[in-house]
Structure 1
Amino acid sequence: MSSVPITKHGAGLLKEELQRLKTKERPAVINAIAEARAHGDLSENADYDAAKERQGFIEGRIADLEGKLGAALIIDPTTLDADGRVVFAATVDLEDLESGEKVTYQIVGTDEADIKHAKVSVTSPIARAIIGKAAGDVVEVQAPSGGREYEILEVRYV
């Protein structure tokens, strides 16, 4: 399996979720199954069916998180020395040349992308367009809504 880049912060969030699932959610669902079994006939026991379904979801998510963390290449943006170039985990200030609107994005792994928090996936059109560029460069981004030009104002590794 090839390594998948993820920021140090993103890896921390996945580890927290894994810990919560293993220490809180898993024991709670095991107790719910035991309690439902105590009610007798399992063939028509909705509580039992719901708890078993929840258990399947939890175990699947645990396996998924363990797989992602096992394949993760954790990158701490504060340790990057990319000579001012846009790389994975960099935070980039951009200006839309048509509207003059300024935006800031951090390039992150696919699992931690969240546009509401200005985190864009490394596989997104905007990230693919700016990777390898530096402050002052103008890039054209081919997005589903059409082409847009951005100027890279600043590249930070925070």
Structure 2
Amino acid sequence: MSRKNSSPSTPATAALSRAGIEFAVLTYDHNPSAPSFGMEAAVALGVEPTRVFKTLMVDMEGTLAAAVVPVSGSLNLKAFAAACGRKKSAMADPTSAERRTGYVLGGISPIGQRNPCPTVVDESALGFAAVLVSGGQRGLEIELAPMDLIMLIDATTAAIGAP
């Protein structure tokens, strides 16, 4: 594991630097055969899985949105739809998610997306001084204050995670 605040190397780190937000970049050797990229990051970095958040792209009747939930659980699609004022939602097509965000699966960051979309962060993030989200590539995590994340991406919070 390595921890550094270096010059921007992804759209996510560039956006954070432009905004003047304090963050740390954490890297680890990514194993392409890992069954869960998020849990891989938590274990490799020695961080509680409840503090590491994954970004999932969701399709709400043709409109893409992002859900940011702890890697220790899953997304409650009904709760997510309700938080967005919709009746139903489904996981987005992987190709559509990559095209919309400009990131590859396993490295989708809620920050610096090619085409930003409505985002909901699970309210459990507010219980931590700092959380980790993908930095825009596999093996790269960003640690920052949850309120800085929410403010930068203009997200809302709701109970959208499921254990």
- TM-score w.r.t. length of structure 2: 0.26
> Greater CA radius of gyration, 1 or 2?
1
Q: Which has the higher contact order (CA 8 A, sep 6+)?
A: 2
**Higher helix fraction (1 or 2):** 1
- TM-score w.r.t. length of structure 1: 0.26
